Amino acid sequence: MEDIMFSLNSVWLILGALLVILMQGGFILLEAGSTRMKNAGHIAGKTVFTFGLASIVFWAVGYGFIFGGNSNFFIGLSDFFYSGDQAEGMAYSTAAFFMFQLAFAGISLTIAFGGFAERAKLSAYLVFAVLFSVAVYPVVAHWIWGGGWLAEHGKQDFAGSTVVHLTGAMAAFAATILLKPRIGKFNKNGTSNNIFGHNQVYTALGVIILWVGWFGFNGGSTFVVDDGFFGFVALNTNLAAGAGAVAALIISWMVLGKSDIPTILNGALAGLVAITASCAFVETWAAVLIGFVAGILVFYSVKFFDRLKVDDPIYALSVHGAAGVWGTLSTGLFATPELATVGKPGLFYGGGFSQLGVQAMGVSVSALYAFVVSFVLLYGMKKVMKGLRVSEEEEIIGLDVSEHGNYGYPEAFIANEEKNRIAN
């Protein structure tokens, strides 16, 4: 019987890993649809090669930094260049667990790259993919998931509202500051312009792929299948996403007078991000409330960053940052005594402010570390590489041509070039 459960648990982890890796496809469609078509091919290509690069770095050092032995305050110091060996006493394949964790590291990096959109050099993606995978993500993941000091305090983050989403968002925040806004985003009088994405259908399809992938993200984080608890986690995940979409629709309709499609899509994602920390620790009604609040929060967060003149083309700071903070804090409010297998019950279940304080400390320290280290790394890259951003001319013609010498939509652009040539 133990052999059967070992196999089933291992299959479950690999299935979860595949669903999370599939989310890279969702991010390609989400980012491409939310930006202009002259950059679509670049977005697709850089997403694939940076995930490949992050996979190699995670195998070489990332896994060891997070879960290795002989650890210090920051990181673990063993299990580098993981060979596929099976650890003793595990209820599942260690190699399957490695693949699952690798997929998470890749998602955090992709979130970070949201702050680079439409103006960063290809070389900046390449170098930062390595640095982020070595010095940023593994440290936060070790603190919370690898037995580090936040884990010792009972920090609750079931599937990564802080580890994956907030960490990626803080790196994206550092990038948006150093790269500065896209051409035409802000006017001299301080007002902003809406630079529309070129395909809302792509964006919506990306959200649906991410939504489905999230069942691997959160459900897979149960690691085992023998008690069927993954079904409850999946239920909470879906309810929060739905509540986020509904809340975003309502608030945009009330404030703008029209239901805004990008806001609805962001609301669903914000609900998913928020419930990621708490999906295993809260009751279903709380999952609905957490997702609903996230849907409203993301609407005002986008406006907040716009007023700060931070150009966040795919709303990484609001969806993954603001909702990540809210989701992590929410376990300190709603975690029940029966479900809180990590840490203590939340404020509304008799736990007082103890767990809420741990959650607040974890969010603050993790966000600060991810932002400061990312900013320093990117600032150093900016000096050494003589800038992170393409030239003004290259940004205007688009990154497909300037960075790759080809169009993501060759028929559309080449046809226009031909018309202009004939007209002249």
Domain boundaries, the chain: 1-409
Continuous H helices in 113-136: 122-131
Check: CB of residue 79 under 8 Å from CB of residue 95: no
CA distance 424 to 418: 10
pLDDT at 2: 76
pLDDT category at 421 given cuts 50, 70, 90 is low
pLDDT category at 415 given cuts 50, 70, 90 is low
What value does the mean pLDDT take over residues 287-313? Answer: 96
The residue to which tokens 């990154």 are assigned: 399
pTM, rounded to two decimals: 0.95
Reduced DSSP (H G I as helix, E B as strand, rest coil) percent helix, strand, coil of the chain, to 5 = 70, 0, 25
pLDDT category at 146 given cuts 50, 70, 90 is very high
**281 secondary structure, DSSP code:** T
What value does the mean pLDDT take over residues 333-341? Answer: 96
What value does the mean pLDDT take over residues 164-191? Answer: 95
Instruction: Give CA separation, 156 vs 1, 11, 191, 396, 421, in Å.
Output: 32, 26, 40, 45, 61
Residue-wise pLDDT for 8-29, tens only, equals 999 999 999 999 999 999 999 9
pLDDT at 137 over 90: yes
Residue-wise pLDDT for 67-117, tens only, equals 999 999 899 999 999 999 999 889 999 999 999 999 999 999 999 999 999
What value does the mean pLDDT take over residues 349-376? Answer: 97
Element (H, E) at 65: helix 63-67
Q: Is 118 helix (H, G, I), strand (E, B) or coil?
A: coil
Residue-wise pLDDT for 380-390, tens only, equals 999 999 999 99
Tell me which residue of 222, 218, 234 sits closest to 273, measured CA to CA. Answer: 218
What value does the mean pLDDT take over residues 262-285? Answer: 97
Instruction: Give CA separation, 200 vs 192, 206, 260, 261, in Å.
Output: 21, 10, 11, 8
pLDDT at 323 over 90: yes
pLDDT category at 409 given cuts 50, 70, 90 is confident
CA distance 108 to 110: 5
Check: CB of residue 291 under 8 Å from CB of residue 271: yes
Check: CB of residue 20 under 8 Å from CB of residue 216: yes
**Structure token pair of residue 285:** 């009604």
CA distance 396 to 361: 43
Check: CB of residue 309 under 8 Å from CB of residue 315: no
pLDDT at 417 over 80: no
Angle between helix 284-307 and 229-256 (nearest 10): 40
CA distance 227 to 236: 17
User: CB pairs under 8 A, 24+ apart, for 90-97?
Assistant: 91/5, 91/6, 91/9, 91/223, 91/224, 92/6, 92/9, 92/10, 92/12, 92/13, 92/223, 92/224, 93/6, 93/9, 93/10, 93/13, 93/14, 96/10, 96/11, 96/13, 96/14, 96/17, 97/13, 97/223
Check: CB of residue 245 under 8 Å from CB of residue 267: yes
Check: CB of residue 331 under 8 Å from CB of residue 359: yes
What's the full length of the chain, in residues? 424
Averaged pLDDT of the chain: 95
What kind of architecture, by CATH, is found in domain 1-409?
Answer: Orthogonal Bundle (1.10)
Element (H, E) at 175: helix 167-179
What value does the mean pLDDT take over residues 161-170? Answer: 97
Residue-wise pLDDT for 217-238, tens only, equals 999 999 999 889 999 999 999 9
**87 secondary structure, DSSP code:** P
